[in-house]
Amino acid sequence: MTNPPRAGAMDWSRREFLRFAALASAVLAQGRLTLGAEGPQSGVKYYGELEPLAPGAVRPEGWLRNTLDKQAAELGSKLPQVSWPFTEGYWSGEETGESWWPWEQKAYWLDGAMRLSLVLGNADLLAQVRASLDYTLAHADTDGYLGPKFFENPVGDYHRWPQNVMFRSFAALSDATEGSAGPGSAAIAEALRKHFLHDPADYGKPIRNVTNVEGMLWTYARTGDAALRTRAEDAWREFMTAPGYADLTAMRVYAATPIDSHGVTYAETMKLPAILYLYTGDAEYLRFAEAAERRIFDHHMLIDGIPSTTEYYRTVTSLDSHETCDIADHTWSWGYMLMATGAGVWADRVERACFNAAPGAIRNDWKGLQYFSCPNQFLATLDSDHNVMEHGGRMMAYQPNPGQRTACCGGNVHRIFPNYAIRMWMKTAEGGLAAVLYGPSTVSARVGVGASARTVRITQTTNYPFEEKIEFRIDADGPVTFPLELRVPGWCDAPSLRVNRARVAATPNEKGFMVLNRTFKPGDRIELTLPMKLSLSHWPQNGMGIERGPLVYSLPIKEQWTPRVEPKYTTEEFPSWEAMPASAWNYGLALDSEKLKHEVEVQQAEGPVEDPWENPPLSLTVPVRKIDGWELQANPAQPEQKFTPPLPELSGEAATGHVVGEVERVRLVPYGATQLRLTVFPEVPR
């Protein structure tokens, strides 16, 4: 902070922080809205099938806790000491600059670090983040405007996009402190209400300004001020009809064609009609959102669970990649689709991306990440980017702030795993709970209705997705009646369910959930088993991938790491990392799809899983053949510059120089446990 907060600014002492952390699991789970009924706080009707719990209601454990703790210990807390623009006072006193974008980048980190602190109950990290939030709230303009004076005058297309990013951190803090001893919830909602209702900016015309519909409707739900809903609907209506966006026409209409749009912009915009549905009940909003999402899955999905987006949506060859921001933004958007529809398929999509694409783009020590990440990447250096060349070559190296001046991914990456933890459980109608995303954790929430409602604590003991069994233990101060919904992933066709060791029916409903509607007693145990089967996926240019349950498997390539210190953007502790291959990668998969069970050996380690991305507990042994002549691709104008090559052509004239060797067996590991990898294999004959 460069300036002290004004008198009256919100402030917590360290003792209050620690008290907040200690009480979090007991008090943060209280929902604010009643599904399908008038909310007790704001009189707002909610039309979604599922409602998220407050940040902090779910406490991660096991491997998930280890991942989040590592994030918090490294870039999650240290990025503001490492790399520009995170090192500057944006949102805490800085009022000048050449553009709006440094405030966007810093806001990504603030939102991610806020959620990380709430999920972990990390008081020190919470204090670090709150300095910027408290400064911003304390320095609101007299008309309510929140944010930098530098672009208060609403000109240009993106001058309210940074606010949308920043306000998500306000929302997380407000929801977490509702009903607790900490201050801030009502003050935050009122500050945002005043900002949105008095801001003269055009929220419908500039392409990313419209994303503030998200914050408007969050504020509407907490304050009940119908003018906010009106402004949100007006902004969306203008966005859908305003002239002058010929290049965005395909984004704003029903279509079955590939998407010609920037990936993050599309993901952040196309979630808005789903949120509008949550607070209006207008089915047309939801139909539009579902149609917009369908285009992603029909045309652009890569094997690791995220669409090809560099920066625009692309095709799905072995060299198509995605921006790390797209992992954070697509999974966030799919979460709203899950709330609106109640359909488990959206959780399947979040899970696949978070178990594969996300860890696959991050160094396991949480000291670096990629801007662009690819299912096939045989090297990752400061000049090996094989994607769109206008960004230069550095986007695939592992860096604390990849892209440097284009610093969005360095901040946005911090939202991915905290948001996964926050949304693991959701409230259902009639006082129920739904387990929508699985992993070792404990949830505390109010369940049941009326006088019979009480707080329940459910401990989820599992190594999922590295094992098939998930156990839930119910703890409460007495018997409690509520519906418990358990998601059955779309890839699982033979789930089994036991309650206190007795087998019960395990048939999912049309939404993909099994529902146990019963009176639970303290100590009850539910055991869910989700058998994982092997499958092959097929890709362009004779490509083939292998999957089991929610995990994609890759050939890990040993890395030869070289650190590079680049002043202003890196430090000795957090350098840019270049990786060159130090083991063979030129293999084709020699599998018979009809004999997978016999040709693929599944190996699983026993015991608890501590760090699956460093020491994967699961692996597959598969038959392959080495392909001689398949080598790193060189830049003809600069032969020393190398790139990951496309899949080889093994038939016809283009096959010259490619010799397929004898069958041998290699070990594959989960995609997320790799930094260099071969995931989409060339298919070779048996």
CB atoms within 10 A of CB 506: 15
Strands 681-682 vs 543-548: parallel, antiparallel or unpaired = antiparallel
CB atoms within 10 A of CB 42: 17
Q: Compute the chain's Rg from CA coordinates.
A: 25
Can you say whether residue 36 is alpha, beta or left, with left for phi > 0 and alpha for psi between -120 and 50 degrees?
Answer: left
Phi, psi (rounded to 5 degrees) for 599: -100, -15
For residue 13, is pLDDT > 80? no
What distance in Å separates the CA atoms of residue 210 and residue 275, rounded to the nearest whole number? Answer: 13
Query: Which among 294, 293, 362, 298 has a CA at the least distance from the CA of 327?
Result: 362
Provide mean pLDDT across the span 33-57: 74
Helix 62-73 / helix 101-120 crossing angle, nearest 10 deg: 140
> Is 536 exposed, middle or buried, given 0-12, 13-18 or 19+ CB atoms closer than 10 A?
middle
For residue 32, is pLDDT > 50? no
Name the residue with higher pLDDT: 389 or 492: 492
Name the residue with higher pLDDT: 423 or 641: 423
Produce one character per residue of 163-196: b if its CB has 16 or more CB atoms within 10 Å, e if not: bbbbbbbbbbbbbbbbbbebebbebbbebbbbbb
Binned at pLDDT 50, 70 and 90, residue 178 comes out as low
For residue 482, is pLDDT > 70? yes
* Whole-number Cα distances in Å, 324 to 217, 308, 328, 329, 680: 27, 11, 7, 9, 19
Cβ contact 115:52 at 8 Å: no
Provide mean pLDDT across the span 599-604: 96
Q: Tell me: the pLDDT tens digits for 310-346?
A: 999 999 999 999 999 999 999 999 999 999 999 999 9
- DSSP-derived secondary structure letter, 369: B
Q: Tell me: the pLDDT tens digits for 290-300?
A: 999 999 999 99
Name the residue with higher pLDDT: 513 or 450: 513
Cβ contact 274:268 at 8 Å: no
What distance in Å separates the CA atoms of residue 203 and residue 199, rounded to the nearest whole number? Answer: 9
Answer whether the bond into residue 85 is a cis peptide, omega within 30°: yes
pLDDT of residue 451: 79
Whether the model clears a pTM of 0.85, i.e. scores above it, the answer is yes
Cβ contact 66:60 at 8 Å: no
Q: Where are the alpha helices (DSSP H) in 353-428?
A: 358-360, 408-412, 416-422
Cβ contact 403:371 at 8 Å: yes
For residue 570, is pLDDT > 50? yes
What distance in Å separates the CA atoms of residue 128 and residue 113, rounded to the nearest whole number? Answer: 9
Torsion sign across C-alpha atoms 391, 393, 394, 398: positive
What distance in Å separates the CA atoms of residue 391 and residue 176, rounded to the nearest whole number? Answer: 39
What distance in Å separates the CA atoms of residue 680 and residue 589, rounded to the nearest whole number? Answer: 9
Query: Which of 217-221, 242-246, 289-293, 452-456 shows the lowest per-residue confidence on average (mean pLDDT)?
Result: 242-246
pLDDT of residue 606: 87
Tell me how far apart the 2 most distant CA atoms of the chain are, in Å: 77
Name the residue type at position 621: T
pLDDT of residue 154: 81
Average pLDDT, the chain: 90
Binned at pLDDT 50, 70 and 90, residue 535 comes out as very high
- DSSP-derived secondary structure letter, 560: E
What is the percent of the chain with per-residue pLDDT over 70, rounded to a whole number?
91
pLDDT of residue 183: 44
pLDDT of residue 593: 87
Cβ contact 193:137 at 8 Å: no
- Residues 6 or more apart from 409 whose CB is under 8 A from it? 323, 324, 325, 369, 370, 371, 402, 403
DSSP for 69-135? HHHHHTHHHHGGGTSTTTTS-TTTT----S-SHHHHHHHHHHHHHHHHHHHHT-HHHHHHHHHHHHH
pLDDT of residue 450: 83
What distance in Å separates the CA atoms of residue 106 and residue 129, rounded to the nearest whole number? Answer: 11
What is the percent of the chain with per-residue pLDDT over 90, rounded to a whole number?
79
| Torsion angle, alpha carbons of 305, 310, 316, 319, to 10 | -100
